[in-house]
Amino acid sequence: MNASNKRRHAASPATYVIAAIVAAIAGFGTVYWSLAPSDNGSGSASAPETPTEAASGGTGTAKTGPLAGLNKGAVAAFVAYSKPRDLPDFTFETGDGATKSLADFHGKVVLLNIWATWCVPCRKEMPQLNALESQLGGKDFQVVAVNIDRGGPDKARNFLNETSAGDITLYTDPSGKLFATLKAVGMPTTLLIGRDGKEIGRLVGPADWASPEAKKLIEAAIAAPAPTG
């Protein structure tokens, strides 16, 4: 092969660099949808193909009810269920090691956020969750953000301090199983839970929880008629 043919067949270094950049961008765009901690335990159901399918959990999207049509703007990815879903039993811990469960929040609407310090979108989302808790938190509503890092609560505590999330109570999952137990398929994953402890909707991925759309969604959940039976 002569020199001119070699030049035609050999890719330039710039070509390889461009290809690598494109691959990196594509990979970054999907990692937080699909990445689950490797030490979260086993036995969970296989993940559905898309975040929307994962969020719906096979229950269908609500076309009527207090949350219907409120998945707009900043919370467009939120899926409100046509029928509330039972949740499996699970526990987590406070920063000082006390055990908590959903039963401790019975009677409140809960926005349960699963997050980690290594999750880049979580860093942007945490101040927004803090603003939501600051404005709407109280006897009827609470943001319950559960950190799934391993190795103790200090790293998570520092993260909350760094992101000025002083209104968010530190909760952690030392068991490492919450992600799989709740069949989360992305980081962060946020569940909206009714006063009776049943899941009424889910959003996979980050959202601006301080937005008017998010507040309207939460206010509708708070104002929803109390479950009977």
In this structure, the strands spanning 189-193 and 109-115 are: antiparallel
Cβ atoms of residues 51 and 205 within 8 Å: yes
Predicted pLDDT at 57: 46
Predicted pLDDT at 172: 97
Predicted pLDDT at 20: 43
Predicted pLDDT at 63: 72
Q: What is the DSSP string of 145-162?
A: EEE--SS-SHHHHHHHHH
Predicted pLDDT at 60: 54
Residue type at 113 in one-letter notation: N
Cβ atoms of residues 112 and 141 within 8 Å: no
| Residue stretches of the chain with pLDDT short of 50 | 3-11, 13, 15-31, 33-34, 36, 38-59
pLDDT digits (tens, 9 = 90+) for 191-222: 999 999 999 999 999 999 999 999 999 999 99
The per-residue pLDDT of the chain, averaged, comes to: 81
Domains of the chain: 51-223 (3.40.30.10)
Count of H-run helices and E-run strands, the chain = 7, 8
Cβ atoms of residues 179 and 36 within 8 Å: yes
Bridge partners, 145 (sequence order): 113
pTM for this model (two decimals): 0.76
For the beta carbon of residue 176, count every other beta carbon within 10 angstroms. Answer: 15
Predicted pLDDT at 228: 65
In this structure, the strands spanning 91-94 and 99-101 are: antiparallel
Predicted pLDDT at 64: 73
